[in-house]
Amino acid sequence: MTDELPLSGITVVSCEQAVAAPLASRQLADLGARVIKIERPGTGDFARSYDTTVRGQSSHFVWLNRTKESITLDLKRPEARTIMHQLLGEADVFIQNLAPSAASRLGLGAPELRTLYPRLITCSISGYGSDGPYRDAKAYDLLIQSEAGLVSVTGSPDHPAKSGIPAADIGAGMYAFSGILSALYERERTGHGSELEVSLFDSLIEWMGYPLYYTEYGGAAPARTGTSHAAIAPYGTYRSGDGADIVLSVQNEREWRSFCTIVLETPTLYSDERFASSTARVVNREALDSTVNSVFGAMTAEDLAGRLDRAQVAHARQREVADVLNHPQLAARNRWTKVDTPAGPVRAVQPAITVPGRAARMGPVPQTGEHSRAILASLGYDAAAVEELIQEGIC
Protein backbone atom coordinates (compact mmCIF):
# COMPACT_ATOMS: atom_id res chain seq x y z
CA MET A 1 0.00 0.00 0.00
CA THR A 2 1.33 3.45 -0.95
CA ASP A 3 1.55 6.36 1.46
CA GLU A 4 0.87 8.78 -1.39
CA LEU A 5 -2.47 10.54 -1.51
CA PRO A 6 -4.68 10.07 -4.60
CA LEU A 7 -3.70 13.36 -6.30
CA SER A 8 0.03 13.25 -5.60
CA GLY A 9 1.87 14.41 -8.74
CA ILE A 10 -0.98 16.64 -9.92
CA THR A 11 -0.18 20.37 -10.21
CA VAL A 12 -2.94 22.97 -9.97
CA VAL A 13 -2.48 26.64 -10.85
CA SER A 14 -5.28 28.80 -9.49
CA CYS A 15 -6.02 32.49 -10.09
CA GLU A 16 -8.35 32.59 -7.16
CA GLN A 17 -9.94 34.88 -4.65
CA ALA A 18 -12.71 34.88 -2.05
CA VAL A 19 -14.31 31.45 -1.41
CA ALA A 20 -15.45 29.32 -4.37
CA ALA A 21 -12.19 28.70 -6.23
CA PRO A 22 -10.05 28.56 -3.06
CA LEU A 23 -12.38 25.90 -1.64
CA ALA A 24 -12.09 23.79 -4.79
CA SER A 25 -8.30 24.05 -4.93
CA ARG A 26 -7.83 23.45 -1.20
CA GLN A 27 -9.70 20.17 -1.46
CA LEU A 28 -7.44 19.14 -4.32
CA ALA A 29 -4.47 20.02 -2.08
CA ASP A 30 -6.00 17.98 0.76
CA LEU A 31 -5.87 14.97 -1.55
CA GLY A 32 -2.22 15.48 -2.44
CA ALA A 33 -2.17 17.94 -5.37
CA ARG A 34 0.39 20.73 -5.51
CA VAL A 35 -1.59 23.98 -5.61
CA ILE A 36 0.09 27.19 -6.77
CA LYS A 37 -2.04 30.15 -5.75
CA ILE A 38 -1.72 33.30 -7.89
CA GLU A 39 -2.24 36.49 -5.87
CA ARG A 40 -2.01 40.22 -6.50
CA PRO A 41 1.32 41.81 -5.52
CA GLY A 42 1.00 43.62 -2.23
CA THR A 43 -2.59 42.94 -1.22
CA GLY A 44 -2.99 39.32 -2.30
CA ASP A 45 -6.35 37.55 -2.25
CA PHE A 46 -8.85 40.11 -0.92
CA ALA A 47 -10.26 37.42 1.41
CA ARG A 48 -7.10 37.93 3.47
CA SER A 49 -8.67 41.14 4.80
CA TYR A 50 -12.25 39.94 5.43
CA ASP A 51 -11.64 39.94 9.20
CA THR A 52 -8.83 39.62 11.74
CA THR A 53 -10.30 37.05 14.12
CA VAL A 54 -7.73 34.24 13.74
CA ARG A 55 -4.70 35.71 15.47
CA GLY A 56 -4.98 38.80 13.29
CA GLN A 57 -5.80 36.79 10.17
CA SER A 58 -9.00 36.26 8.19
CA SER A 59 -11.12 33.29 9.28
CA HIS A 60 -12.15 32.72 5.66
CA PHE A 61 -8.56 32.75 4.41
CA VAL A 62 -7.21 30.41 7.06
CA TRP A 63 -10.07 27.99 6.37
CA LEU A 64 -9.56 27.90 2.61
CA ASN A 65 -5.84 28.20 1.91
CA ARG A 66 -3.77 25.68 3.80
CA THR A 67 -1.21 23.56 1.93
CA LYS A 68 -0.88 26.03 -0.95
CA GLU A 69 2.11 27.84 -2.43
CA SER A 70 1.59 31.56 -2.97
CA ILE A 71 3.19 33.51 -5.80
CA THR A 72 2.29 37.10 -6.58
CA LEU A 73 1.88 38.16 -10.22
CA ASP A 74 0.53 41.37 -11.72
CA LEU A 75 -1.13 39.68 -14.67
CA LYS A 76 -1.66 43.01 -16.44
CA ARG A 77 2.10 43.06 -17.04
CA PRO A 78 3.46 41.05 -20.01
CA GLU A 79 6.36 39.71 -17.93
CA ALA A 80 3.93 38.28 -15.39
CA ARG A 81 1.84 36.63 -18.10
CA THR A 82 5.02 35.01 -19.43
CA ILE A 83 5.62 33.52 -15.98
CA MET A 84 1.99 32.45 -15.85
CA HIS A 85 2.32 30.54 -19.09
CA GLN A 86 5.49 28.88 -17.86
CA LEU A 87 3.49 27.63 -14.87
CA LEU A 88 0.59 26.51 -17.04
CA GLY A 89 2.94 24.60 -19.30
CA GLU A 90 3.75 22.36 -16.33
CA ALA A 91 0.24 22.25 -14.82
CA ASP A 92 -2.53 19.68 -14.96
CA VAL A 93 -5.38 21.97 -13.84
CA PHE A 94 -6.05 25.71 -14.15
CA ILE A 95 -8.78 27.26 -11.98
CA GLN A 96 -9.91 30.86 -12.14
CA ASN A 97 -12.70 32.90 -10.61
CA LEU A 98 -11.64 36.30 -11.87
CA ALA A 99 -14.14 39.02 -12.70
CA PRO A 100 -16.33 38.41 -15.79
CA SER A 101 -14.25 38.49 -19.02
CA ALA A 102 -11.02 39.19 -17.09
CA ALA A 103 -9.44 35.84 -17.95
CA SER A 104 -10.05 36.32 -21.66
CA ARG A 105 -8.64 39.86 -21.59
CA LEU A 106 -5.48 38.46 -20.01
CA GLY A 107 -5.16 35.72 -22.63
CA LEU A 108 -6.15 33.11 -20.05
CA GLY A 109 -9.55 32.17 -21.45
CA ALA A 110 -10.31 28.47 -21.71
CA PRO A 111 -10.34 28.30 -25.56
CA GLU A 112 -6.88 29.87 -25.81
CA LEU A 113 -5.40 27.69 -23.09
CA ARG A 114 -6.95 24.50 -24.46
CA THR A 115 -5.22 25.22 -27.79
CA LEU A 116 -1.86 25.87 -26.17
CA TYR A 117 -2.01 23.05 -23.60
CA PRO A 118 -4.17 20.14 -24.85
CA ARG A 119 -3.76 18.11 -21.62
CA LEU A 120 -4.70 21.03 -19.39
CA ILE A 121 -8.02 20.94 -17.53
CA THR A 122 -9.50 24.42 -17.21
CA CYS A 123 -12.19 25.30 -14.69
CA SER A 124 -13.85 28.71 -14.82
CA ILE A 125 -15.99 29.73 -11.85
CA SER A 126 -18.32 32.68 -12.32
CA GLY A 127 -21.40 34.21 -10.79
CA TYR A 128 -23.98 33.47 -13.46
CA GLY A 129 -22.19 31.63 -16.28
CA SER A 130 -20.55 32.69 -19.53
CA ASP A 131 -23.69 33.94 -21.28
CA GLY A 132 -27.21 35.20 -20.57
CA PRO A 133 -28.40 38.60 -19.35
CA TYR A 134 -26.74 38.23 -15.94
CA ARG A 135 -23.34 37.27 -17.36
CA ASP A 136 -21.57 40.44 -16.19
CA ALA A 137 -23.55 41.05 -13.01
CA LYS A 138 -21.81 41.32 -9.66
CA ALA A 139 -22.14 37.98 -7.94
CA TYR A 140 -21.46 38.10 -4.21
CA ASP A 141 -22.82 35.23 -2.17
CA LEU A 142 -25.80 37.11 -0.68
CA LEU A 143 -26.83 38.34 -4.13
CA ILE A 144 -26.79 34.81 -5.53
CA GLN A 145 -28.72 33.46 -2.52
CA SER A 146 -31.33 36.14 -3.19
CA GLU A 147 -31.60 35.57 -6.95
CA ALA A 148 -31.78 31.78 -6.52
CA GLY A 149 -34.60 32.02 -3.99
CA LEU A 150 -32.70 30.59 -1.03
CA VAL A 151 -33.37 33.68 1.07
CA SER A 152 -37.11 33.38 0.35
CA VAL A 153 -37.34 29.91 1.91
CA THR A 154 -34.95 30.50 4.84
CA GLY A 155 -35.80 32.13 8.15
CA SER A 156 -39.02 32.61 10.07
CA PRO A 157 -42.48 33.39 8.65
CA ASP A 158 -41.95 37.11 9.24
CA HIS A 159 -38.25 37.39 8.48
CA PRO A 160 -36.49 35.87 5.46
CA ALA A 161 -32.79 35.23 6.02
CA LYS A 162 -29.68 34.32 4.15
CA SER A 163 -27.81 31.16 5.04
CA GLY A 164 -25.33 31.70 7.86
CA ILE A 165 -22.56 30.24 5.69
CA PRO A 166 -21.67 31.25 2.10
CA ALA A 167 -23.88 28.60 0.51
CA ALA A 168 -23.53 29.75 -3.10
CA ASP A 169 -19.74 29.95 -2.87
CA ILE A 170 -19.50 26.57 -1.16
CA GLY A 171 -21.82 24.97 -3.70
CA ALA A 172 -19.76 26.27 -6.62
CA GLY A 173 -16.52 25.20 -4.96
CA MET A 174 -17.84 21.70 -4.42
CA TYR A 175 -19.05 21.33 -8.02
CA ALA A 176 -15.73 22.66 -9.31
CA PHE A 177 -13.88 20.14 -7.15
CA SER A 178 -15.98 17.18 -8.30
CA GLY A 179 -15.89 18.36 -11.92
CA ILE A 180 -12.10 18.54 -11.87
CA LEU A 181 -11.89 15.03 -10.44
CA SER A 182 -14.10 13.74 -13.26
CA ALA A 183 -11.97 15.58 -15.84
CA LEU A 184 -8.78 14.06 -14.44
CA TYR A 185 -10.35 10.62 -14.74
CA GLU A 186 -11.44 11.36 -18.31
CA ARG A 187 -7.91 12.49 -19.21
CA GLU A 188 -6.56 9.16 -18.00
CA ARG A 189 -8.78 7.47 -20.59
CA THR A 190 -8.43 9.93 -23.50
CA GLY A 191 -5.13 11.73 -22.95
CA HIS A 192 -6.90 15.07 -23.39
CA GLY A 193 -7.81 17.80 -20.96
CA SER A 194 -11.22 19.44 -20.93
CA GLU A 195 -12.99 22.70 -20.22
CA LEU A 196 -15.30 23.07 -17.21
CA GLU A 197 -17.64 25.90 -16.29
CA VAL A 198 -19.28 26.28 -12.89
CA SER A 199 -21.45 29.17 -11.77
CA LEU A 200 -22.55 30.09 -8.28
CA PHE A 201 -26.09 30.62 -9.56
CA ASP A 202 -26.35 27.22 -11.27
CA SER A 203 -24.87 25.52 -8.21
CA LEU A 204 -27.41 27.03 -5.86
CA ILE A 205 -30.29 26.44 -8.27
CA GLU A 206 -29.39 22.74 -8.09
CA TRP A 207 -29.54 22.92 -4.30
CA MET A 208 -32.96 24.58 -4.59
CA GLY A 209 -34.36 21.49 -6.33
CA TYR A 210 -36.95 20.52 -3.72
CA PRO A 211 -38.42 24.05 -3.30
CA LEU A 212 -38.59 24.49 -7.07
CA TYR A 213 -40.50 21.22 -7.57
CA TYR A 214 -42.68 21.92 -4.53
CA THR A 215 -43.62 25.35 -5.92
CA GLU A 216 -44.19 24.38 -9.54
CA TYR A 217 -46.34 21.36 -8.81
CA GLY A 218 -47.80 22.34 -5.45
CA GLY A 219 -48.92 25.79 -6.44
CA ALA A 220 -47.14 27.66 -3.64
CA ALA A 221 -43.61 27.98 -2.33
CA PRO A 222 -42.59 26.12 0.84
CA ALA A 223 -43.34 28.28 3.85
CA ARG A 224 -40.51 29.69 5.91
CA THR A 225 -40.74 27.71 9.12
CA GLY A 226 -37.50 28.35 11.00
CA THR A 227 -36.08 24.95 11.93
CA SER A 228 -39.36 23.25 11.03
CA HIS A 229 -40.06 21.70 7.63
CA ALA A 230 -42.70 22.75 5.13
CA ALA A 231 -43.61 19.16 4.29
CA ILE A 232 -42.79 17.12 7.42
CA ALA A 233 -44.08 17.20 11.03
CA PRO A 234 -43.08 16.86 13.78
CA TYR A 235 -39.80 18.32 12.61
CA GLY A 236 -37.71 21.06 14.15
CA THR A 237 -36.65 22.40 17.52
CA TYR A 238 -38.46 21.75 20.80
CA ARG A 239 -37.34 22.75 24.30
CA SER A 240 -37.00 20.38 27.24
CA GLY A 241 -38.02 21.30 30.75
CA ASP A 242 -34.42 22.05 31.70
CA GLY A 243 -33.91 24.43 28.76
CA ALA A 244 -32.14 22.24 26.19
CA ASP A 245 -33.11 22.58 22.52
CA ILE A 246 -33.94 19.15 21.08
CA VAL A 247 -34.29 18.79 17.32
CA LEU A 248 -36.64 16.14 15.93
CA SER A 249 -37.02 14.65 12.49
CA VAL A 250 -39.91 12.15 12.32
CA GLN A 251 -39.69 10.99 8.71
CA ASN A 252 -42.06 8.05 8.32
CA GLU A 253 -45.11 6.34 9.79
CA ARG A 254 -43.09 3.73 11.70
CA GLU A 255 -41.20 6.51 13.49
CA TRP A 256 -44.44 8.41 14.10
CA ARG A 257 -46.07 5.39 15.75
CA SER A 258 -42.99 4.80 17.89
CA PHE A 259 -42.83 8.49 18.80
CA CYS A 260 -46.45 8.47 19.97
CA THR A 261 -46.11 5.24 21.92
CA ILE A 262 -42.70 5.54 23.57
CA VAL A 263 -41.82 9.24 23.62
CA LEU A 264 -45.21 10.92 24.10
CA GLU A 265 -46.65 7.86 25.86
CA THR A 266 -49.93 8.53 24.07
CA PRO A 267 -50.51 5.60 21.68
CA THR A 268 -53.97 6.85 20.70
CA LEU A 269 -52.41 9.89 19.07
CA TYR A 270 -51.19 7.69 16.24
CA SER A 271 -54.74 7.01 15.08
CA ASP A 272 -56.00 10.56 15.63
CA GLU A 273 -57.31 11.65 12.21
CA ARG A 274 -55.61 15.05 12.63
CA PHE A 275 -52.24 13.31 12.61
CA ALA A 276 -52.93 10.16 10.59
CA SER A 277 -50.60 11.06 7.70
CA SER A 278 -47.63 13.30 7.03
CA THR A 279 -49.87 15.74 5.14
CA ALA A 280 -52.41 15.82 7.98
CA ARG A 281 -49.67 16.47 10.55
CA VAL A 282 -48.38 19.41 8.52
CA VAL A 283 -51.89 20.88 8.21
CA ASN A 284 -52.43 20.47 11.95
CA ARG A 285 -48.87 21.39 12.95
CA GLU A 286 -49.96 23.90 15.60
CA ALA A 287 -52.01 21.34 17.53
CA LEU A 288 -49.30 18.72 17.12
CA ASP A 289 -46.57 21.06 18.36
CA SER A 290 -48.69 21.99 21.36
CA THR A 291 -48.92 18.32 22.34
CA VAL A 292 -45.20 17.72 21.83
CA ASN A 293 -44.24 20.85 23.77
CA SER A 294 -46.40 19.89 26.73
CA VAL A 295 -44.64 16.53 27.05
CA PHE A 296 -41.13 17.84 26.38
CA GLY A 297 -41.58 20.76 28.77
CA ALA A 298 -42.13 18.36 31.65
CA MET A 299 -38.96 16.33 31.02
CA THR A 300 -35.21 16.80 31.24
CA ALA A 301 -33.08 16.61 28.12
CA GLU A 302 -31.44 13.43 29.40
CA ASP A 303 -34.77 11.68 29.94
CA LEU A 304 -36.01 12.82 26.53
CA ALA A 305 -32.89 11.52 24.83
CA GLY A 306 -33.42 8.17 26.52
CA ARG A 307 -36.99 7.89 25.27
CA LEU A 308 -36.05 9.02 21.76
CA ASP A 309 -33.23 6.48 21.63
CA ARG A 310 -35.54 3.68 22.74
CA ALA A 311 -38.08 4.75 20.13
CA GLN A 312 -35.37 4.94 17.46
CA VAL A 313 -36.56 8.40 16.50
CA ALA A 314 -33.98 10.68 14.88
CA HIS A 315 -32.98 13.57 17.12
CA ALA A 316 -30.13 15.94 17.88
CA ARG A 317 -29.11 18.83 20.08
CA GLN A 318 -29.30 22.31 18.61
CA ARG A 319 -25.81 23.51 19.46
CA GLU A 320 -24.22 26.92 19.42
CA VAL A 321 -21.06 27.28 17.33
CA ALA A 322 -18.96 27.45 20.49
CA ASP A 323 -20.41 24.09 21.54
CA VAL A 324 -19.38 22.50 18.24
CA LEU A 325 -15.74 23.33 18.95
CA ASN A 326 -15.94 20.75 21.75
CA HIS A 327 -18.33 18.33 20.08
CA PRO A 328 -17.85 14.83 21.53
CA GLN A 329 -17.99 13.21 18.07
CA LEU A 330 -15.11 15.34 16.80
CA ALA A 331 -13.08 14.55 19.91
CA ALA A 332 -13.78 10.80 19.80
CA ARG A 333 -12.70 10.53 16.16
CA ASN A 334 -9.63 12.75 16.53
CA ARG A 335 -10.95 15.14 13.90
CA TRP A 336 -8.98 18.12 15.21
CA THR A 337 -5.38 18.79 14.24
CA LYS A 338 -3.05 21.78 13.95
CA VAL A 339 -2.20 23.88 10.89
CA ASP A 340 0.63 26.40 10.78
CA THR A 341 -0.13 29.98 9.74
CA PRO A 342 2.02 33.10 9.52
CA ALA A 343 0.72 34.03 12.99
CA GLY A 344 1.35 30.61 14.52
CA PRO A 345 -0.46 27.26 14.67
CA VAL A 346 -4.25 27.11 14.81
CA ARG A 347 -6.74 24.29 15.25
CA ALA A 348 -8.18 22.85 12.06
CA VAL A 349 -10.63 20.09 11.26
CA GLN A 350 -9.35 17.14 9.24
CA PRO A 351 -10.58 17.00 5.60
CA ALA A 352 -14.05 15.52 5.15
CA ILE A 353 -12.63 13.06 2.62
CA THR A 354 -10.27 10.70 4.39
CA VAL A 355 -8.19 7.90 2.91
CA PRO A 356 -7.76 5.14 5.51
CA GLY A 357 -4.12 4.35 6.16
CA ARG A 358 -2.88 7.60 4.61
CA ALA A 359 -2.33 10.73 6.65
CA ALA A 360 -4.29 13.80 5.66
CA ARG A 361 -2.29 16.62 4.07
CA MET A 362 -2.54 19.67 6.31
CA GLY A 363 0.19 22.07 5.20
CA PRO A 364 0.71 25.67 6.28
CA VAL A 365 -1.36 28.69 5.28
CA PRO A 366 1.00 30.83 3.16
CA GLN A 367 1.91 34.49 3.44
CA THR A 368 1.20 36.60 0.37
CA GLY A 369 3.87 35.71 -2.19
CA GLU A 370 5.72 33.48 0.27
CA HIS A 371 6.81 31.09 -2.47
CA SER A 372 7.43 33.58 -5.28
CA ARG A 373 11.22 33.28 -5.15
CA ALA A 374 11.25 29.49 -4.94
CA ILE A 375 8.73 29.06 -7.76
CA LEU A 376 10.56 31.51 -10.03
CA ALA A 377 13.85 29.75 -9.31
CA SER A 378 12.25 26.43 -10.27
CA LEU A 379 11.30 28.01 -13.61
CA GLY A 380 14.94 28.92 -14.27
CA TYR A 381 15.10 32.54 -13.13
CA ASP A 382 18.36 33.44 -11.38
CA ALA A 383 18.41 35.33 -8.11
CA ALA A 384 19.12 38.72 -9.70
CA ALA A 385 16.26 38.34 -12.18
CA VAL A 386 13.90 37.32 -9.40
CA GLU A 387 14.75 40.37 -7.29
CA GLU A 388 14.28 42.64 -10.31
CA LEU A 389 10.82 41.20 -10.96
CA ILE A 390 9.87 41.77 -7.32
CA GLN A 391 11.31 45.30 -7.19
CA GLU A 392 9.38 46.26 -10.32
CA GLY A 393 6.10 45.02 -8.83
CA ILE A 394 5.67 42.28 -11.42
CA CYS A 395 5.79 39.62 -8.69
pLDDT digits (tens, 9 = 90+) for 223-272: 887 777 777 888 888 999 999 899 988 888 899 999 989 999 998 888 88
Q: Residue 99: pLDDT above 90?
A: no
Mean pLDDT confidence for 114-131: 94
Shortest CA distance to 263 belongs to which of 293, 233, 229, 242?
A: 293
Mean pLDDT confidence for 276-293: 88
Phi-psi region at 132: left, alpha or beta (left = phi > 0; alpha = psi -120 to 50): left
Spatial neighbors of 319 by CB under 8 A, at least 6 apart, are 327
Task: Report how far residue 266's alpha carbon sits from residue 147's, in angstroms, rounded to the nearest whole number.
Answer: 45
Mean pLDDT confidence for 159-167: 91
pLDDT grade for 101, boundaries at 50, 70 and 90:
confident
pLDDT grade for 388, boundaries at 50, 70 and 90:
very high
Q: Indicate the DSSP class of residue 1.
A: -
What is the reported pLDDT for 2?
65
Query: What phi and psi values does residue 289 have, to the nearest 5 degrees?
Result: -65, -35
3-state secondary structure 145-209: HHHCCCHHHCECCCCECCCCCCHHHHHHHHHHHHHHHHHHHHHHHHCCCCEEEEEHHHHHHHHCH
Q: Does domain 11-208+333-391 have CATH number 3.40.50.720?
A: no
Mean pLDDT confidence for 174-187: 97
What is the reported pLDDT for 333?
93
| Residue 64: its H or E element | helix 59-64
Task: Report how far residue 29's alpha carbon sits from residue 66's, in angstroms, rounded to the nearest whole number.
Answer: 8
List the domain boundaries for the chain.
11-208+333-391, 235-317
The 10s digit of each residue's pLDDT in 365-384 is: 999 999 999 999 999 999 99
Return the higher-pLDDT residue of 2 and 237: 237
pLDDT grade for 116, boundaries at 50, 70 and 90:
very high
| Percent share of the chain, pLDDT over 90 | 69
Spatial neighbors of 55 by CB under 8 A, at least 6 apart, are 341, 343, 344, 346
Task: Report how far residue 61's alpha carbon sits from residue 51's, in angstroms, rounded to the nearest whole number.
Answer: 9
Mean pLDDT confidence for 142-154: 92
Task: Tell me which architecture the domain covering 235-317 has in CATH.
Answer: 2-Layer Sandwich (3.30)
Give catalytic residues, as residue numbers. Answer: 229
What is the reported pLDDT for 232?
82
Q: Are 310 and 320 within 8 A, CB to CB?
A: no
Q: Residue 83: pLDDT above 60?
A: yes
Mean pLDDT confidence for 195-215: 95
What is the reported pLDDT for 52?
94
The 10s digit of each residue's pLDDT in 307-360 is: 999 989 888 988 889 999 999 999 999 999 999 999 999 999 999 998 888 988
Distance from the first to the final alpha carbon of the chain: 41
What is the reported pLDDT for 1?
52
